[in-house]
Each structure stands twice: as C-alpha cells, then as structure tokens.
Amino acid sequence: MVVFISPVVLYGYQFGIGLWSEHSKWAELGSFLSGVYSPVIALFAFIVLLVQASWQSKINKYQYDISYISANRDVIDYYIEKMEQYLEKKNEQGVTISQELVQKYYAKSEDALQLERDQISNYITAFHPKVSGIWSALYPILNAMGSNSEFPYEHNYLGSIQKIETILTLPVCVAIDKVYFCINRRVNPSETLFWEGGKNITSGST
C-alpha cells in the first residue's frame, strides 16, 4: 500500500495537486503516474504469476503422485490376491503351500540358505514358480515407493508393507523373502523387506 501511495504524496509535496484548469498540468501528472506505476504494477503482476505457477506446479505434482501411488496400489493388491490364492493350494501331502514354505525356510539362517541356495532355487523354480514370480514383480514396485521419503509415498509404502504382512502373515513373508534371496543372487538379506523384521525370531532356530 505504501508503494502505491508514496509517489502521489511526493508529487503533491513537490508540485502540489489541485483541480487545474490547464490541460498541461493534468498531462504532467498523468505522465508521472504512468511512469511510476506501470513498472510497479508490472512487477506486482509478475510476482502474482510466479506464485500462481508455483502453486500450479505443486498441484500438478500432487495429482501425479496420487495417480502414481493409486496405480501402484492397484497392482500390489492384484499381486497379493494372486499370491494368497496360490499359497492356499495344497500339495500332494495335503499341506498348503504357505505352510510348506514356512516349515522349510522360515527358520533357516543365512548360512544355511547359502549352503542350500542352488537346491532351493531349483526346487522353487520347478514346483512353485508363481511364488518367485509374484515376489519378484512386487519388489520393484515397493522399492520405488519406499525410495521416496516424502508424503504420500512413505505413508503408502509403509501401508502396503503392513497390508502384505497382514494378509500373508509375517512368517510366510519371511519364508518367501528367503526364497527370493536364494533365487536372486543380487539380493542381500539387508535389502529384504520382511526377513529383516523376522531375524530376531529366526536367529535362534537354525
């Protein structure tokens, strides 16, 4: 407000302001006001445009983030449903695949897995390829979401992890993580999402 009033006050103080009868006086005042206020108004308009552009950029990013996360959650839900359906199937001994995986791999230590890595990898690839396939498809999606610590990425990442753990149960997730470790040579135990959470349970029962 001061920026807009000050030029008029200064002009009036220096030259006086009144209802002049001479056209030239009004022309001089108009020329002065135009010269002063045009740059000020242009600067003000530029600032407004910058603010609008900044807000629009934030809105666009938020909309993209929500759309990206929503699409990923749909894919995650699809894979979880397919994994749950497969794990509920029974093998020739009448044991569900989830029970089989937990019995065989949940309590195995890293050293034991290293010794039996090829054997486990060949067995899963031959008899339960869906387990490794679905898990291998889930990991890149979860890791991509987890790599961004900003809201809403981290919030949805943690929610997805909790959802998977709740539906499949932690022992099953740990067992599949260990199978995933055996099949994928580039994976370290520290990079798994569920095995690390179950280490305190499994470390004493090799």
Each residue's pLDDT tens digit, 128-150: 999 999 999 999 999 999 999 98
Phi-psi region of 187 (alpha: psi -120 to 50; beta: other; left: phi over 0): beta
Question: What is the C-alpha to C-alpha distance for residues 168 and 26, in angstroms, rounded to an integer?
Answer: 83
Q: What's the rounded mean pLDDT across residues 58-87?
A: 95
**Do 158 and 145 form a contact (C-beta atoms < 8 A)?**
no
Residues 161 and 111 in one domain: yes
Position 21 in a domain: yes
Q: Are 173 and 164 in contact (CB under 8 A)?
A: yes
In-domain check, residue 55: no
Give the tens place of pLDDT for each residue, 170-182: 999 999 999 999 9
Same domain, 82 and 45: no
Task: Report pLDDT for 10.
Answer: 63
pLDDT in tens, 86-119: 999 998 899 999 999 999 999 999 999 999 999 9
pTM over cut 0.85 = no
Q: Are residues 88 and 165 in the same domain?
A: yes
Check whether residue 113 and residue 157 sit in a common domain: yes
Domain count, the chain: 2
Same domain, 193 and 142: yes
In this structure, the answer to whether residues 100 and 134 fall within a common structural domain is: yes
For residue 50, pLDDT beyond 70: yes
Query: Do 91 and 20 belong to one domain?
Result: no
- Quick check: 73 pLDDT over 90? yes
- What is the model's pLDDT at position 151? 87
Domain range for 37: 2-50
Q: Is residue 138 part of a domain?
A: yes
